[in-house]
Structure 1
Amino acid sequence: MSVPRLLKSASLATPLAALLVSGCVPPPSATVAPPRTAPLAAAADGIPVDSAGLVSAADPRAAEAGVQMLRLGGSATDAAIATMLALTVVEPQSSGIGGGGFLVLGDAAGQVETIDGRETAPKAATPQWFYADGKPLAYRDAIPGGRSVGVPGNLRLAALAHNGKGRLSWRTLFQPAIRLAREGFEITPRLRTILAAASRTGALDPEASALYYGSDGQPLAVGTLVRNPALAATLETVAARGADSFYAGENATLIASKVGTAPRNPSPMTTADIAGYRAIARPPVCGQYRVWRICGMGPPSSGATTVFAILKQLERFDMKALGPANPVSWHLIAESQRLAYADRDQYLADSDFVSVPVSGLTDPAYLASRSALISETTSLGLVTPGTPPGARLAFAKADPQEENGTTHFVAVDRWGNAASYTSTIEGPFGSGLMVGGYYLNNELTDFNIVPDKDGKPTANRIEAGKRPRSSMSPTLIYGPDGKLRLAIGAAGGVTIPAQVAKAIIGVLDWNLSARDAIALPVIFAPGGDMVFVEKGTSLEAMIPTLQQLGHAQVLARPPSFKANAIERVGDRWRGAADPRSEGAAVAP
């Protein structure tokens, strides 16, 4: 076989054709070969769409795990699951089996399905879950320990996806991650930097500290080989016994005990809470932007509605003619974000608990009316939520909360299927609690800590069994020919929809490669009269012009962004990974 090709600097597109003769596909029982030891070679021009496929992830070792599935004749779903499992090992600060995610799947005919693996609040949760002595906890005080932990969803999500779209055996998908955990992986600069920050907070529990820190209390050096036998054992059990073994028996007991006896913010979570978790197949949210069909994840994700609103509200402007070097382009993007995020904060939540007007929020006429508020010459300043068709204003608009962490990865296969998967444990190292070698999430802090405002409840208040609103925005885009044009997503909490929309504009309106579109600087205008621009980029130099356009407060902030994509350009797939990250796109 050929040496895998690294496509970190390439852009990427997703194909819909490319059938391989079934006799050429290895049987599902095939043994996973050891990962390649030869150097990864650059392949900036991509790969043919009739090849085995491609994976782009935030860590090349995880991308290689997915590629191993493609070599064996696995589907994009198989590759995405193997990538998620490997990221549990090599990117423990961002995602893994102790958290949840959203998966958007598309086939060669353009049929799109979505799976909700978002975490759930335990049965004991009440709207005052994050209160102490009658007062709400500060956001950062609510994160460490047991109270922020939701019931993990990633493995039930993986099992549901595999049952429908997998071609290889369940056990096979785990082998690369098990090998990485058992034989070891090297600490990267990014991981060490985050470990250093975490050590100052004291949030990591002793099991984790023993893995990643030396006797002097300092993070292990870059390049240090770390073995995680506890995680290897956990993965081996789930590989052999199925996802149910994670949600019952010893592992469930360990989770409930860890959450209930945490040294900070202990809280009641029962084995029944864990056993009762279900991933849910939900209808995708799709809409038309110019000639392209944009599809993403609906509630409890705010991703699809927010990304689509940002784009659709810009449709009447000639973004192509304005181009990425024009401050007016970024002014318009910021204005559209203000409007989209105002609606997000008002209406988006778990649709199993509240009525979310998804159709209204994506209605072209409604978004045209919101777009009419945008001017090329002056800022709106403060904005208020609109009233989309079907909206019931029973809830107050909540203030946005800061979020961090997360990872995104994409895969395409030889049959033209695509998987766009965003996975998370929320903040760096989640709750700081470790069970069985993996971190437990702090996703419940994605609920509104203060459950009401101005005497009215907020849609995203915490309730028993509810899933917190998410910003994750896994997205698939189809061209007028019906073929997949782009599979994309990002990490970075509440900035995710802004990152994804910006990159889509870069590809579709500015004719950039996916890699170059991801590399564009980020502007973020989540509400109020604040605009944040990425420090050290061309946007920082535009601050005076943006202020002249009426943006009262424009602040430069250091980047905390991480996106991955695959695009189809002609008859080739091209992979893209954020140059700010350690990510890569890898082909067999």
Structure 2
Amino acid sequence: MLLRPLNCLLAPLLAILLAASAEAQLLDPRSSPEAATGEQTHELAIGKRHMVSAANALAAEAGREMLRAGGSAIDAAIATQLVLNLVEPQSSGIGGGAFILYWDKAKAELKVYDGRETAPASATPDRFLVDGKPMPFNKAVLSGLSVGVPGLVRLLEDVHKQHGKLAWAKLFEPAIRLAEGGFEISQRLHVLLRLDGPDSFVPAARRYFFTDGGSALPIGHRLRNAEFAATLRAIAAGGANAFYEGPIAQAIVDAVAAAPTAPGGMTLDDLKNYRVKERPPLCVSYRAHEVCGVGPPSSGGPTVAQTLKLIEPLDIGTTPDAALNARAVHLITEAEKLAFADRNKYVGDPDFVAVPDGLLDDAYIAERRKLIDPQRGVDKPKAGEPPGLKRQSFGVDATIERSGTSHISIVDEAGNAVSMTTTIEGGFGSHNWAAGFLLNNELTDFSFAPVDAAGQPVANAVAPGKRPRSSMAPTIVFDTQRNVEAVLGSPGGSRIILYVLKTLVALLDWGLDAQRAADLTNFGSQGSGLEIELDWAAVPLGLTLRPLGHRIVPSLMNSGIHIVMRRDGRLEGAADARREGAALGD
């Protein structure tokens, strides 16, 4: 199905409506770098046994194939991810990393697996400085300096050893079939290639994605990737070590050394020494639910949790008719501003930074909630001083996040659940290529400036072996009996937090079904201004919120929410209409 074209009338209409506000601004210039390419109409998927929701129908079908073969949710997630690498190469793949939140039903255990990329041993705090000043962001992205040590393959092997049921090699079969036999280029991939253009890619990637004349391969072109198939066959036969050692590892090191602008200094030892980390899950009660996510080095879980606790006692409505009511949007946005202020100052890799342990302290949350004015928006609130703040200075953060990311939600027949957010960072990552796949630009998720203007060290500064701060927010919601209610997450850079919060409120407070919740107009704040998606629903909402003093920022908020929800004894599956995904169940 072709995507519906974006309605070009929305931007000028919103600009006209909002022009009366002196604080209003036009389109957010930092709209999602993985651009909007239109919308699809998705129907709510219904299943009894199992459900997969992912960003491409071919990938979701690969996951369902594993479930039908008796595989676990982890087996399905691995097969889904490998196909995504092929058919949605701009967003995730074995050249990047991921966070997995996994619910083991039989053991009643919730696990967090951190497969985030790491800085090589040669990385220093001044990695992105030139003559003492931060280098241009896009120049850094395309350099070897941006490439972190990929974590995904080791992550997939580790979770399969613990939770897989099918043979490791079987999980590679759908991706190998498609790599060798080809798949049709979608409208989304074609449009994104046209927007990026051939000159931003290294020659090997340019030859793969573009014609000899420099045109993006057309919609419907059957694209084959024999090089990637060979890589997959090697990993299927030799496990993760076939990726982290030997010819594939050498190809990665060579690509990073030969990258445009500057080499990255990655070595074979950096790859060989990569390890997945198991972290404690981060869970909070929210009304009659338990909402769980991942903690640092991701800021997604803490910021989502803090926002939910801030709004928990507030009246934001409890029926579908209350969805997007102005009072709720105002209160949620103000809570997000407070949570983002703390996030930006305090969250980094916990192996390097003493992240305060009191960000969710009840008394601290209550004090922060007093800063929410129900009648007036406040721009750029300052970070608080939570309990557990160690004797460490935290400088003003200067991180810029991109959003080439994807999300997979799965519930299997045994009741196990996977919420997996996976990334190569910006759209098409670093645009560098090795052994048939794109390499990430994850290290640009660090703050380019290691200290702020006052000389205070920044929590998210570069360091050898450090993992850059993330906003990925894979989430699982439980009821009071610890039964899975919802599995969800989204791509979108730092806006992931906004998309997940909107969806949680839509599901848990307003009672929308999974598809309506995913498709609901996006909104929120990252600390400054109120971002509202360019959508017809935003017109009356923007007019209602303007008198509250909000600086309205109309924007193309290109989420990719994927949901599996258990309701009334059945599974609901939803794929965000803003992308080309699918929810498939039986």
TM-score after normalising by structure 1: 0.90
2:21 match: none
Distance of aligned partners of 1:280 and 1:181 in 2 relative to their CA distance in 1, 3 Å threshold: same
What corresponds to 1:55 in structure 2?
Answer: 52
Structure-2 change in CA distance of 1:428 and 1:80 (3 Å): same
Deviation at 1:402, TM superposition (A): 3.6
> 1:428-467 alignment to 2 at 5 Å?
428-453=427-452, 454-467=454-467
Q: Which runs of 5+ in 1 are unaligned?
A: 1-41
Aligned to 1:320, the other structure's residue is in SS state coil
Q: CA deviation at 1:45?
A: 5.9
Match of 2:492 in 1: 492
On the 8 A contact 2:292/2:301 being kept in 1, the answer is yes
Partner of 2:378: 380
Aligned AA (1:166): G
| Distance in 2, Cα, partners of 1:56 & 1:550 | 39
1:11 aligned partner: none
What CA deviation, in whole Å up to 9, does each residue of 1:202-224 have, x standing for no partner? 22111111111112211011011
Which residue pairs with 1:3 in the alignment? none
Indicate whether 1:347 and 2:346 are aligned. Answer: yes
- The aligned residue for residue 307 of structure 2 is 310
Q: Which whole-Å CA distance do the structure 2 matches of 1:446 and 1:532 have between them?
A: 21
CA drift of 1:321 comes to 4.7
Whole-Å Cα distance in 2 between the matches of residues 197 and 434 of structure 1? 19
CA–CA separation in structure 2 for the residues paired with 1:544 and 1:155? 48
Q: Residue in 1 aligned with 2:138?
A: 140
1:481 aligns with 2:481: yes
* Structure 2 stretches lacking a partner, 5+ long: 1-41
1:329 aligns with 2:328: yes
Among 363, 366, 380, the residue aligned to 2:364: 366
One-letter amino acid of the counterpart of residue 493, structure 1:
G
TM-score, scaled to structure 2: 0.90
- Provide the rounded CA distance (Å) in 1 between the counterparts of 2:264 and 2:132: 16
SS at match of 2:317: helix
1:388 Cα deviation after fit:
1.4
Which 4+ residue blocks in structure 1 deviate beyond 3 angstroms?
A: 42-45
377 and 400 in structure 1: CA distance in 2 versus 1, 3 angstrom threshold:
farther
Would the aligned equivalents of 1:381 and 1:550 in 2 still touch at CA under 8 Å? no
Once the 2 structures are TM-superposed, how far is the Cα of residue 380 of structure 1 from its aligned partner? 2.2
Alignment partner of 1:456: what SS?
coil
Partner of 1:86: 83
SS of 2:261 mapped into structure 1: coil
Cα separation, 2, equivalents of 1:355 and 1:159: 30
The answer to whether residue 512 in structure 2 is matched with residue 515 in structure 1 is: no
**Could you say if the C-alpha distance between residues 259 and 345 of structure 1 is closer, same or farther in structure 2, counting changes exceeding 3 Å?**
same
Alignment match, 1:274: 271
The letter for the 2-side match of 1:102 is F
3-state SS in 1 of match to 2:197: helix
Q: Who is 1:531 aligned against? A: 530
How far apart are the structure 2 equivalents of 1:521 and 1:380?
22
SS of aligned partner of 2:256: helix
Residue identity opposite 1:331 in structure 2: H
1:189-228 matches, cutoff 5 A: 189-199=187-197, 202-228=199-225
Counterpart for residue 544 of structure 1: 543
Q: Per-residue deviation at 1:400?
A: 4.9
8 A contact 1:100–1:424 mirrored in 2: yes
- Give the letter aligned to residue 571 of structure 1: G
* Distance in 2 separating the partners of 1:448 and 1:537: 36
How many angstroms does 1:43 deviate by? 7.5
Shift in Å, 1:511: 0.3
2 CA distance for matches of 1:133 and 1:74? 54
- 1:230-274: CA deviation from partner (whole Å, max 9, x where unpaired): 000000000000011100111111111110121222221110011
**Cα distance in 1 for residues equivalent to 2:263 and 2:217:** 29
Contact 2:85/2:92 (CA < 8 Å) preserved in 1?
yes
> Does the residue aligned with 2:552 lie in a helix, a strand or coil?
strand
- Determine the C-alpha separation between the residues in 2 that align with 1:422 and 1:274: 22
CA offsets 1:20-42 (integer angstroms, 9 cap, x no match) = xxxxxxxxxxxxxxxxxxxxxx9
Indicate if the aligned counterparts of 2:53 and 2:60 stay in contact, CA closer than 8 A: yes
Which position in structure 1 is the counterpart of 2:181?
Answer: 183
Residue 584 of structure 2 aligns to a residue whose secondary structure is: strand
1:203 touches 1:431 (CA, 8 Å); kept in 2?
A: no
Q: Provide the rounded CA distance (Å) in 1 between the counterparts of 2:352 and 2:500.
A: 27
One of 292, 295, 299 as aligned partner of 1:295? 292
C-alpha deviation, 1:382, in angstroms:
2.6
8 Å CA contact retained: 1:410, 1:421: yes
Identity value in percent: 44
**CA deviation profile, 1:492-538 (whole Å, cap 9, x unmatched):** 1010011001100000000001211111111131123x221101231
1:89-141 deviation per Cα after TM superposition (whole angstroms, max 9, x unaligned): 11000000000000000122642100000000001101100112332112222
- Alpha-carbon RMSD: 1.5
**Residues 1:262 and 2:279 aligned together:** no
Bigger Cα displacement from structure 2, 260-269 vs 335-344: 260-269
Decide whether the 8 Å contact of 1:104 with 1:476 is kept in 2: yes
Contact 1:400 1:526 in 2 (8 A): no
Give the distance between the partners of 1:183 and 1:366, measured in 2 at CA. 57
Hey, what's the Cα distance between the residues in 1 that align with 2:216 and 2:129? 33
Structure 2 equivalent of residue 46 of structure 1: 46
Q: Which residue of 2 aligns with 1:415?
A: 414
What is aligned with 2:561?
563
